[in-house]
Structure 1
Amino acid sequence: MARRSGGHLPQPPLMRFVGVDLAWADRKPSAIVVLEGGKDGPGAPIAFSSGLEHVEEMGDFILSHTPGGGLIGVDAPLVVPNESGARPCDLECTAKWRGYDAGALPANKKLCGDPPRGGRLLRWLGEAGFEHRYDLQAGVPLRAAMEVYPHPSSVALLGLTKIFKYKRSATAQNQEGLAAFQAKLYERLGRIDPPVELGGELAGRLRRNPTLLRGADFERQGDLVDALVCAVTVFHFWRWGAAMWEMAGSAAQGAILLPRAEAFKVPPPGGSG
């Protein structure tokens, strides 16, 4: 009879979880964070990049880090059928999360282009075998991509009463907001279920003091933080599925993966993050 080496059972396959903070406009820089994790235990970052400008280089970076199963969360509109106004998923997100300052921006062809930049990335990923879908069996490997939104995710995952304000220019208020957000990520990500253990070069980047950053450096720092939240979002979704996450809208008309506030026991909105 064949003996097992050391009596150890084979380890279950690990998945890769990719967060993409995708700028809506062409030539605007974007950021990507890749986590690795399995059905049990923590997730951990294995790669990241910021300042990516072209859909093709983003796709190449993603494919180079997803040789097997991969779940991709993109913070940008992927499907935009409407000429103007907002998509139903944008309106639903805003109705549920506006009290936390986490409502969605209206996405339409006038603002996003036709096709939108996210749609071009989605097509690129589809040719590489990634399905656009929001249904999964928790803990089962797959290759899929979906639209996510880091503001509601950060409220639910970190137990916030308001989002931290840090986008766009490096004003003193935005610098302080990003510094507080980074501190909260360090405080909380290792304590959520499943935990995410920040380490390596990404941890070093997230320890940078935003109050010392200006211009493009400040914007890239914020993009990287958003990409991390997107990656944590799809990792948590893969482990918990529909018990804690829901789809707003439809894959055909535009959809966003959102946390279920009641499942996360999110505190009432108000005050500061």
Structure 2
Amino acid sequence: MKFIGIDLGWQSGKSGLCCLQYSDKKLKILDLNCKLKTEDLLNWIDNLTPLSTPALIAVDAPTIIPNQTGTRLPDKLTHKYFGRYHAGCYPANLNRPFAQKTLNFGISLELKGFIHAPTIEPQQPGRFQIEVFPHPAIVNLFQLEKILKYKKGRLAERKSELGKLHQYIINILPTLEPALLISDNFLDMEKINSTIALKTTEDKLDSLICAYIGAYWWYWGQTKNLVLGNHTTGYIVVPNRLD
């Protein structure tokens, strides 16, 4: 089973991409990448998951948007449950400039056989897609009191916060189930010396988190995950806070 994490560029930016392979009860990284064009991103998916290949794709973007205006139910629920961690998400509606791109991306995945999976039978092979949101997942998986603020601010501050995420991934994801096999130097954080380099690394780490959320959802289902919303309203899958 493969798990694809996509930190989708909602408008004109690059998309962070991660592919994890589950075998021998462990996860390992097959690829960690960035692509600008949607066509290149879809080709990357095709190369890693040819038709009939079991895989789950976890996308950080609103791929189901039923509302013309206002805010989707899952977006409201992120603020209800995770607002105190500063982990509420931006509202999505059909009037937003990114809406057509993110909707079309979800449809493209469906045409490749990846069905939406707001419910799932754990550890069964298939081709699935889900919507995810890294911030609340990071808060819960790493038991934080607030999000890591690597999205905005000065370069040094963002690099410091992103370095914390890098270290949490190395220290904690290998201890969870399913465990991620990962080396301390899978990304060289010392080479980040510009906002462009930082953004590329940020996209890659976010995509890795997305892929891990997908693996965690497939492995545990609703036993250890929270589903905000449903197929009709749109939904976001978030790992439960660890005991």
Bucket of the pairwise TM-score, normalised by the shorter protein: over 0.9
Query: What is aligned with 1:82?
Result: 67
Offset from partner CA, 1:28-79 (integer Å, 9 cap, x none): 11111000104x62101011211x1222211111121123100010001111
CA separation in 2, counterparts of 1:114 and 1:215?
A: 26
Query: What is aligned with 2:231?
Result: 251
Which runs of no fewer than 5 residues in structure 1 stay unpaired? 1-14, 266-273
Three-state SS of the structure 2 residue aligned to 1:73 is strand
Q: Counterpart amino acid of 1:78?
A: T
CA positional deviation for 1:229 = 0.3
Change in Cα spacing, 1:139 to 1:241, as seen in structure 2 (3 Å) is: same
Mapping of residues 1-273 of structure 1, within 5 Å: 15-25=1-11, 27-38=12-23, 41-50=25-34, 52-67=35-50, 68-115=53-100, 117-168=101-152, 170-199=154-183, 204-209=185-190, 212-261=192-241, 264-265=242-243
Identical-residue share of aligned pairs (%): 27
Which runs of no fewer than 5 residues in structure 2 stay unpaired? none
Q: Larger Rg: 1 or 2? A: 1
CA separation in 2, counterparts of 1:173 and 1:149?
A: 22
- Number of equivalences: 241
Three-state SS of the structure 1 residue aligned to 2:226 is strand
Offset from partner CA, 1:163-214 (integer Å, 9 cap, x none): 1110146532111111111111111111111110114xxx64523227x421
CA separation in 2, counterparts of 1:213 and 1:178?
A: 13
Offset from partner CA, 1:61-116 (integer Å, 9 cap, x none): 1121123100010001111222332111100111101111211111122334442x
CA separation in 2, counterparts of 1:184 and 1:207?
A: 15
> What is the TM-score of this pair, normalised by structure 2?
0.93
Change in Cα spacing, 1:42 to 1:112, as seen in structure 2 (3 Å) is: farther
CA separation in 2, counterparts of 1:205 and 1:246?
A: 29
Q: Counterpart amino acid of 1:18?
A: I
Change in Cα spacing, 1:168 to 1:221, as seen in structure 2 (3 Å) is: farther
Name segments (4+ residues, structure 1) moved above 6 Å.
none
CA separation in 1, counterparts of 2:154 and 2:18?
A: 22
CA separation in 2, counterparts of 1:249 and 1:58?
A: 27
